[in-house]
Amino acid sequence: MAGRATSDKAPTHGEAVAKKLYVKTFGCQMNVYDSARMADVLAPLGYGTTTTLEDADLVVLNTCHIREKAAEKVYSELGRLRALKQARERSGGEMLLAVAGCVAQAEGEEVATRAPYVDIVVGPQAYHRLPGMVARARRERRAAVDTSMPADSRFDHLPEELAGPQPGRGVSSFLTIQEGCDRFCTFCVVPYTRGAEDSRPAAAVEAEARRLVAAGAREIVLLGQNVNAYHGAADDGGSELDLAGLIGRLAAIEGLERLRYTTSHPRDMTPALIEAHGTEPKLMPFLHLPVQSGSDRILAAMNRSHNADRYLRLVAALRTAQPEIALSSDFIVGFPGETEADFEETMALVRKVEFAQAFSFKYSPRPGTPAAERDDRVPDEVAAERLTRLQRLLEEQKRRFNASMVGRTLPVLFERFGRHPGQVAGRTPYMQWLHVEGDETLIGTVAEATVTDASPNGLAGALAGGKGASTGGREHDAGLVAAGGVPA
């Protein structure tokens, strides 16, 4: 549903007063990045971020529409926030409520109709208009709604300077380089909520990467709905740079230790990007590459533009280029029309690849997508049973992969304190959390650590030539951030 755009000007710096912004982020890493940029554009109005909801003058729900009943979960959250807003108003104060992200884009004016106490509804293409929308909502005392998808790139409106530390920034920072998707998988809402593919100019990406490194980032995760379709302008002459070229350009930044990217489509992998995994030491050997199914028949019904053999050839090419690479993937079980034979082909593909990690879900329809119109739904109990079998196999593979780390010495980027005193935690090249005994001087550095223990959810270890082993690694879930693509 198209919303009405606002043209209000933001208050000037002189009008800004100290206010507090609370952002709750749902869904993908790009939403985390978007939340940080919303904080950037609101900073000139005097909004500083807070982690205490009750203190907030403006609450933003940055929503995701990928999972089932996403909109209903947002309305439930809004119902709880309504009581806080009313209590603030009774005391003579103000709390503005904003719904942003893909649910805002999909629902549009319906959000303001169902939850009339919401002040702002803003889609992903209009975040740069938030200052004016805040001014309008406060002035008119009714919802400001903007879910338009303008012809100009939203990247043209990103603020050049960062407002300061935000969620997703720090030792490891997200950086959006591409948005939207032209693939139109039949189960996916992204083309409808995020629009057509749009890539950010390489110079702008590099400039932000340099600012992030200057602010303390040692790892940058490049984000896009279809990140390996990146084709950003390389210079004023209008030539384009692909993802492999961009990675090479960013790798030259002094002080940047690691690069990752997510999420890719197999159809958009290039030989140059495969080669980069073997030749660029800053590109981490961990690749998240969604396959969704191992059945060619189901992949065709999903409009995935690849088959199982193509995916397996990609895996072989990547492992030839980088023998140390570890792979992760996404799977949808119970897609309409899936038979037991189709599902067994998925299980066979999983056994052939041997994944380090994976996300797997039971199919759920998204209104407005072609798959949602099909009448050959797999019974829920059948899909649930298949999902249990797949997850059991994936968990076994993950356990084997983590166990294979024991005894190895790995470079670890330490990001934070552990749960226990005297403990710090960092990521291995394979995205596993590893805990060692250490202090704050390790945070923000890459140090060698020997893995002494492994569980399905993390690793414990000791600094190479240093202190004894930590025992707290198994309490933390291993994260998942990076991504990849496919051979011709």
Tell me the per-residue pLDDT of 216-241, one tens digit each, with 9 for 90 and over: 999 999 999 899 999 998 876 668 89
Asked if residue 109 has pLDDT above 90, the reply is no
Distance CA 130, CA 450 (A): 47
Distance CA 315, CA 289 (A): 10
Give 37's pLDDT tier (boundaries 50, 70, 90).
Answer: confident
Give 153's pLDDT tier (boundaries 50, 70, 90).
Answer: low
Window from 128-132, 133-137, 148-152, 201-205 with minimum mean pLDDT: 148-152
Asked if residue 267 has pLDDT above 90, the reply is yes
Percent of the chain predicted with pLDDT > 70: 86
Give the predicted TM-score (pTM) of the model: 0.76
Domains of the chain: 13-146 (3.40.50.12160), 170-282 (3.30.750.210), 285-396 (3.30.750.200), 409-475 (2.40.50)
Distance CA 460, CA 403 (A): 11
Window from 64-68, 82-86, 186-190, 399-403 with minimum mean pLDDT: 64-68
pLDDT in tens, 412-446: 999 999 888 899 999 999 999 999 999 999 999 99
pLDDT at residue number 341: 98
Q: What is the mean pLDDT of residues 182-201?
A: 87
Strand order in the sheet with 286-288: 286-288, 326-333, 357-362
Decide: 414 and 171 in contact? Cβ < 8 Å.
yes
Give 463's pLDDT tier (boundaries 50, 70, 90).
Answer: very high
Percent of the chain predicted with pLDDT > 90: 57
- Cβ neighbors of 233 (< 8 A, separation 6 or more) are 199, 201, 202, 203, 239, 240, 241
Please compute, for residue 463, the number of CA atoms within 13 A of its CA located in the half-sphere on the CB side: 16
Give 168's pLDDT tier (boundaries 50, 70, 90).
Answer: very low
Decide: 122 and 147 in contact? Cβ < 8 Å.
yes
Window from 48-52, 96-100, 166-170, 230-234 with minimum mean pLDDT: 166-170
pLDDT in tens, 324-364: 999 999 999 999 999 999 999 999 999 999 999 999 999 98
Distance CA 161, CA 158 (A): 9
Q: What is the mean pLDDT of residues 152-162?
A: 55
